[in-house]
Amino acid sequence: MNKLFRILAPSSALSVVIHIVLWISMIWLANIGFAYMTVDSLDYSLLYYGAHAFFVGGPFIVFVTFVTRYQIRFQKHLSLLSRKDGLTGLNNRRTFMELAQMRLDESACGTLILLDADHFKRVNDVYGHAVGDVCLKEIAHRLKWNLREIDVAGRIGGEEFAVLFAGATIEQARVIAGRLGQPIPFRAEGVEAHLSITLSMGAVLIEPDVSLDAHLIRADQALYAAKEAGRARLVIWSEPSPPPTEDGLKKSAA
């Protein structure tokens, strides 16, 4: 049904005119065919049947065309609202997970980074949520400015963001993270102070046999370590060292 609506709905002003002309022409031909089937001849001229199609069917065709066009636009708007974060314009969590998984299905390599705004609660408490919203928009702008078309970014929590750098090594992601980690200035109406915010980041290298959810957990652990280490920095996740075995303890004691 959606595919049918897309075919019926014109996408431009020229397309509207073409649709109307085609529909009226079809009604014109239908009138002529009906006349032949009922009386075996045309009692009136072809111009008459054309005028009949235009004045009788034209208004109805115009109405249906514009209603269909509005319906398609409305569906696209609803689809966008369901997939995007309304404040920042980034992908919401569900869409980020879907797109990131698609990228990993195409090529199971890259680097995943979680980013969290440092002391964001303080911004909301001191300056209000409207200023906090401006802050989040500026963070999203910084992300968009530094991403490639193949990368996937999303707002996955209140002040938490995620980026999948498709096909990127840790070193390549570290370079981009260096740009993302610079203080992000923002200003809001009614606030004279020049404000800025920093980001704490946790990164993990994608492993082919590890799920996306597991990578998110690892990146979150690295993010927590970045905050514990003083914030405004990037920490790369690394596999925890296994506990020493009994043989190992004996060797070290010797």
Q: Which positions ≥6 away from 131 have C-beta within 8 Å?
A: 123, 124, 186, 188, 191, 195
- Considering the domain architecture, whether residues 217 and 111 belong to the same structural domain is answered as yes
- Considering the domain architecture, whether residues 128 and 168 belong to the same structural domain is answered as yes
> pLDDT tens for residues 145-156?
999 889 999 999
Q: What is the pLDDT of residue 18?
A: 77
Please, which pLDDT band fits residue 68 given cuts at 50, 70 and 90? low
- Considering the domain architecture, whether residues 110 and 207 belong to the same structural domain is answered as yes
Spatial contact of 82 and 130, defined as CB atoms under 8 Å apart = no
Domain that holds residue 225: 93-236
Please, which pLDDT band fits residue 37 given cuts at 50, 70 and 90? low
Q: What is the pLDDT of residue 249?
A: 44
Mean pLDDT confidence for 51-61: 62
The more confident residue out of 166 and 240 is 166
- Considering the domain architecture, whether residues 232 and 130 belong to the same structural domain is answered as yes
Q: Is 236 helix (H, G, I), strand (E, B) or coil?
A: strand
pTM: 0.66
- Considering the domain architecture, whether residues 202 and 220 belong to the same structural domain is answered as yes
Place of tokens 């075995």: 245
Residue 58 lies in a domain: yes
The overall average pLDDT reported for the chain is 81
Q: What is the pLDDT of residue 108?
A: 82
> pLDDT tens for residues 180-214?
999 999 987 777 778 999 999 999 999 988 999 99
- Considering the domain architecture, whether residues 111 and 63 belong to the same structural domain is answered as no
**Cα radius of gyration (the chain):** 30
The more confident residue out of 251 and 59 is 59
Q: Which positions ≥6 away from 166 have C-beta within 8 Å?
A: 103, 107, 109, 110, 148, 150, 151, 152
- Considering the domain architecture, whether residues 180 and 150 belong to the same structural domain is answered as yes
Residue 210 lies in a domain: yes
The more confident residue out of 224 and 74 is 224
- Considering the domain architecture, whether residues 65 and 97 belong to the same structural domain is answered as no
Answer with the one of 83, 104, 119 that is the final residue of a domain: 83
The closest alpha carbon to 144, from 111, 176, 97, 112, belongs to 176
Tokens encoding 3: 């595919």
Answer with the one of 63, 83, 103 that is the final residue of a domain: 83
Please, which pLDDT band fits residue 69 given cuts at 50, 70 and 90? low
> pLDDT tens for residues 158-168?
999 999 999 99
Identity of residue 229: A
Tokens encoding 206: 């994608």
Residue 134 lies in a domain: yes
Q: Which positions ≥6 away from 99 have C-beta within 8 Å?
A: 91, 152, 154
At CA 238, angle to CA 172 and CA 153, rounded to 5? 45
The closest alpha carbon to 200, from 232, 152, 238, belongs to 232
The more confident residue out of 205 and 248 is 205
- Considering the domain architecture, whether residues 50 and 103 belong to the same structural domain is answered as no
How many CB atoms lie under 10 A from the CB of residue 237? 21
Judged by average pLDDT, the poorest of 26-40, 160-174, 178-192, 220-234 is 26-40
User: Could you tell me whether strands 234-236 and 199-205 are parallel, antiparallel, or unpaired per DSSP bridges?
Assistant: parallel
User: What does 195-227 look like in DSSP terms, one character per residue?
Assistant: EEE-EEEEEEE--TTS-HHHHHHHHHHHHHHHH
> What residues are labeled active site?
159
Residue 245 lies in a domain: no
Answer with the one of 42, 58, 83 that is the final residue of a domain: 83
Residue 33 lies in a domain: yes
Please, which pLDDT band fits residue 78 given cuts at 50, 70 and 90? very low
CATH number of the CATH domain containing 103: 3.30.70.270
Domain count, the chain: 2
How far, CA to CA in Å, does 56 sit from each of 24, 25, 59, 65, 175? 9, 12, 7, 15, 66
User: Percent of the chain scored above 90 by pLDDT?
Assistant: 52
Please, which pLDDT band fits residue 113 given cuts at 50, 70 and 90? very high
